[in-house]
A and B are shown apart, each in its own frame.
With several copies, the nearest count.
Chain A
Amino acid sequence: MVGGGTGRRVGGRLVLGVPALLAVLLLVLPLLALLLRTDWSRLLADLATPTVWTALRLSLTTTSCTAALCLLLGTPLAWLLARSDHPGTRWLRALLTVPLVLPPVVGGVALLLTWGRNGILGGALSAFGIQIPFTTVAVVLAETFVSLPFYVLAVEGAMRGLDPRLEAVARTLGASELRYLRTVGLPLVLPGIASGLALAWARALGEFGATITFAGNFPGRTQTLPLLVYVELERDPQVATSISILLLAISVVVLGALRGRWLR
């Protein structure tokens, strides 16, 4: 009987392990291929150029701003969505997901139609001399547009998992909704927030289509790493690969450290 049990256990492991392994291979093999085809001897030389450094600095700055915006604006939105049971909420929620399906270039066009010189808000702004397209602010806006939905969806999911009676108890203890959120709600959904932030940050780091369309591509101002990769791909694919590997390394390190720190 113990033998049978072990057999069953191995069976269970297989049923789960084989598809999981397939999933890992599907995701990791292409990365491996990228690494295998990299000319490692050139890597450092490819990366130690002012262009790469400028783009790297810009990428890190804008993605940090984006992450901060997600945290500041996305968290309250996720909270309100999580506790609303109004039937309209579900359509609002679906609407918020749209930036995910919009081809990024179209997203960029939509942003231009909003913030551009002739856009529905941009017109008013340019009357005050404020120009958003082709600036670093535009990069942040584009990145926020595509990554905020990830954050909101991930965090809302986590917030729905909270036991509502915990809030009831906190409220009777004299906590306002805000205080409850700050002292109990948020700390308890920290894993969800961290994973949402990771998703959003990663998405922003890789963002290309909306950025190029909305913010353009100017070194030092709007040329982030993915834009540089694209530009280099036309000229020297090997340099593009090297920069991709830099992107890859940054994300693995940041996400690994972040998750190790915040997720359990």
Chain B
Amino acid sequence: GSGSSPSGDSTGAAGGSGAGSTATGASGAAGLTGTVTVLAAASLTESFDAIKADFEAAHPGVTVETSYGSSATLVQQVDNGAPASVLALAGSAAAEPLDKSLVKDTTSFARNILEIAVPPSNPAAVASINDLAKPTVKVVLCADTVPCGKAAQATFRKARVVPNVVSKEVDVKATLAKVRLGEADAAVVYHSDVVAAKDAVKGVAIEGQYNTSLTYPIITLTDDAATRAFVAYVLSDAGRHTLASFGFAAP
């Protein structure tokens, strides 16, 4: 149980999730119909599944289709004519290659901060970001090219720590998987990922002065009422609350 205390509050945040979201669902306007196609970053899987369920309960005439993938892939798909109404990305940088003529509206809807994930037994006894420099601690990070990798670089620079990296994974999920499987002693990932992984990993918080955050934009691509309602719902308190229950902070 060594070094487990800092993660206590973050896991606690995931606690009372479901109840609040259904309460706000009733406030939506009735009589909407249609299909909303949502392309969302893989890290939003659980939270958007919950939002989809709530929104559909509130608007029985609307079907929400979700497709999860890496942000870069999603942008490429939209550029090539994917039938998408809404695009929710991890990091605004991912939206850069997007064909701007397709964009009707862009808003930030969530923010994620970095956290150290360690196996539940925390074999290397990682207690702070400084421990990641020890040669006995196997650290995995995201690759420098992906948002979480860039963010981790920035954090280490700020903390003046040179971590003992064994692998730079292509995405945050692969990074976390290494800790999950016990192959790595620590990984720097998003707080929401630690929350989503439940008891499979433990989080070790990174102090605020070093930490870097990532802003999630939601991009509206079609101009129909159901889509506007969906985006509005994500941005509403109910939506915020659901997102918060999965470890996302407000933008």
Contact = CB atoms under 8 A, between A and B. Distances in A.
Interface of A: 105, 108-109, 112-113, 116-119, 122, 126, 131, 133-134, 212-213, 215-219, 222-223, 227, 230-235, 237
A216 B81 contact: no
B80 A234 contact: no
B42 to A, nearest CB: 5
Contacts, number: 133
A237 B97 contact: yes
Contacts of A131: 81, 83
Q: Taking each of A119, A131, A217, which has the highest tally of chain B beta carbons within 10 Å of its own beta carbon?
A: A217
Contacts of A233: 72, 173, 177
B59 interface: no
Interface stretch (B6-14, B163-171, B218-226): B163-171
B182 A216 contact: no
Interface string B72-92: 110011011111000000000
16 contacts: A112-B181, A112-B183, A118-B182, A126-B81, A134-B77, A134-B183, A212-B170, A216-B82, A216-B168, A218-B66, A218-B168, A230-B170, A231-B168, A234-B46, A234-B70, A237-B97
Given A118-B80, A134-B138, A230-B170, A235 B67 contact: no
A105 B145 contact: no
- Tell me the dominant secondary structure on chain A's binding face: helix
Contact of A216 (B42, B69, B97, B196): B69
B75 to A, nearest CB: 9
Contacts of A219: 65-66, 168
Interface string B136-161: 00101001111000000000000000
A13 B177 CA distance: 42
Given A119-B80, A134-B83, A216-B77, A234 B181 contact: no
Q: Which of A122, A133, A227, A235 has the most CB of B within 10 A?
A: A235
B45 interface: yes
Nearest to A117: B81
Contacts of B49: 235
B201 to A, nearest CB: 11
A116 B181 contact: yes
Contacts of A231: 42, 45, 68, 143-146, 168, 170
Contacts of A215: 167
Given A217-B169, A223-B67, A237-B76, 16 more contacts: A112-B77, A113-B80, A133-B77, A213-B76, A216-B67, A218-B67, A230-B42, A231-B68, A231-B143, A231-B146, A231-B168, A232-B145, A233-B72, A233-B177, A234-B46, A234-B173
Contacts of A223: 67
Nearest to A216: B167
